[in-house]
Amino acid sequence: MRSITITDPATNQVYPGHIPTGWHEVPVSAFQQFARLQLERRPELAMLSAVQALTSLPADVLAADVSLAAYLGQQMPWFFTGLPEAEPAATLVHRGIEYTWQGDFSRLNAGQFEALLAFLDAAGGSAAVAAPELLAVLLVRTGGRQDAQAVREATEALAGLSMEQAWPYVLNFLKAWMMPALRIQASSLATTRMETALEQMLALTSVQPAKAGLRQRCSGIAAGLARRYVRSVVGRLRSS
């Protein structure tokens, strides 16, 4: 993490901040903030959103001088080259607590499926905005029970997890459940629309400015298809 300061020439006010040097220095909460900002903005303003979310510098100061945001954004080239894609670890220790990944899905129950979908719904289909909640379902405290209180506590704790550690779990969820859901629904979609939806789903893992609007649209498509598919699975589980 690089420490920086900027000075307002009109008032001589000094503002301290920092520039992350990689995804290992970006907490989930910061990327969530970037996603929230970008939902309300044009794709071309992704760099401003990134600098506002990641540097701890005052948002109004950065918005007042777009050239400053552009310069600082150029100091984080890794941010726009793609999100972490490593294989998720079976267990994870964060703040002294060990979590076990439910990602092979043999450990997930119907309630957890519903929770994942509800969190995506609440986030408008954005996995980035829902990331802390998704992680709180996908990662269970080893040896502990997962109830509403445990999910709330895990959501708060895992918001501080680095994106380098956290995003592979979210990405696995998107690929393992969203992509199959899209394919299963292929019979009800035109072929070209299906192919486009599959390509757009992969765009969820990109933070390139030109694709920010695309991510929002395809996220909603994928979430809707996934809801129908997973709920049919839940229905079969409950009736079996």
For tokens 């390139």, what's the residue? 208
CATH topology of domain 2-80: rbstp2171 (3.30.2220)
Write out the chain's pLDDT in tens, 240 residues.
899 888 888 888 899 999 999 999 999 999 999 999 988 888 888 889 999 999 999 888 888 888 888 899 899 999 988 888 888 999 999 999 999 998 765 566 777 878 888 898 888 888 999 999 999 999 999 988 888 899 999 999 999 999 999 999 999 888 876 555 555 444 444 444 545 544 554 454 455 544 444 444 445 545 554 455 445 444 444 444
Determine contact, residues 161/84, Cβ cutoff 8 Å: no
3-state secondary structure of 108: coil
Between the alpha carbon of residue 207 and those of residues 80, 84, 138, 144, 180, the distances in Å are 5, 11, 23, 35, 23
For residue 9, give every residue at least 6 positions away whose Cβ sits within 8 Å of its Cβ, in sequence order, or none. none
Residue ranges covered by each domain of the chain: 2-80
Maximum alpha-carbon separation in the chain: 70
- What DSSP designation does 200 have? H
